Amino acid sequence: MWHDFSKILRELWRVPGVDGGSYRPDLHYMRGPGPKWHAKHAGFLATPPAVKSSRRTLHDIVEHRA
């Protein structure tokens, strides 16, 4: 009896011709920060100046010996 009752409720709940309102993640997909975010955080995204390594390279050693 409960099985029949739940089956009837499921059929009544279902709306013909509609997919049930399932969640579509592709409609809510964010592709990344937009131009407003980039404008707001422009100072923080600047790359720091390159620091020269204190390690000597093979090129430095050869020049030193020459």
Summarised one tens digit per residue, pLDDT across range 7-65 is 888 888 776 656 656 777 777 777 888 889 888 888 765 666 666 667 778 888 888 77
- Give this prediction's pTM: 0.26
Burial of 58 (0-12, 13-18, 19+ CB in 10 A): exposed
The number of angstroms, rounded, from the C-alpha of 65 to the middle of its chain's C-alpha atoms is 51
